[in-house]
Amino acid sequence: MNQINLENYFDKGFDLFKLPDNIIKKLWLILQDTKWIRDPDNTYKSIPIWYNSEGVIYQSQDSGGDRDVVERIYGKSLLEKCPKNIIEIAYNIINLNFFDPLRFFKKQTELKYIHLWNGAEEIPWHMDTVDGSDTLLLIYLTEQTDWDNNWGGCVGLRKELSNEIKHEILIQPLSGNTIVINNANPLVKHRVYKLKNTNINRYTLSLCFNWST
């Protein structure tokens, strides 16, 4: 498979690739084995039963600009609750040859954050600087072979410097599409468009890793 483009990762702040078919198949098996429940906060279409924010209360800003704070509060214990098979596949993904150019600089990785949900809320431009992690992966799984942007659910990525947009791209959440974000780059932001077609499923697996020597 192709390897991460270091110029994209360090200059633009992000790169894109599609997961290998064997990994996609394993992820679908996990999704099928997961018990999904209605999100009591009505943020998502559904959430895994192991995701539980009970007792955690935080009133997010209407603008969504404090999204990183929300993620830290609600995601603090997700690693402890997450099934081991999902943790295992997270490391399978970061250990793909795709990431070898990053391993030239730092060889060790540690999973710092994990989240899994179905659906997509409207989120304005923001950074997911969860716990200051180095690399953020956003992995999408959908049943459609083609995506209509009118359904919503797409993701925007941009690099902005002094109010000037240097790079901008729109990503469709087709199955296996993976966004790799340099989470240490403060110039890179992304946004999510609300999923308008609620008859379809749009699964997202969010992973944050730290790198060390």
Domains in the chain: how many in total?
A: 1
**The overall pTM is greater than 0.85:** yes
Residue 162, in any domain of the structure:
yes
pLDDT in tens, 169-193: 999 999 999 999 998 888 999 999 9
Using the predicted structure, report yes or no on whether residue 95 has a pLDDT greater than 90: yes
In a domain, 87, yes or no: yes
- 87 — phi, psi (to 5°)? -60, -40
Sheet holding 164-171, edge to edge: 123-126, 188-192, 155-161, 164-171
Kindly report the CATH number assigned to the domain that includes residue 131.
Answer: 2.60.120.620
- 46-70 pLDDT per residue, tens: 999 987 655 444 444 554 555 556 6
| 21 lies in some domain | yes
Task: Judge whether 119 lies within some domain.
Answer: yes
Within 10 angstroms of residue 108's Cβ, the number of other Cβ atoms is: 10
- Residue 179 maps to a domain: yes
Domain assignment of residue 166, given as a range:
6-53+65-212
Q: Locate 98 and state its tokens.
A: 């795709």
Residue 60 domain-assigned? no
Query: Is 58 within the bounds of a domain?
Result: no
Is position 160 within any domain?
yes
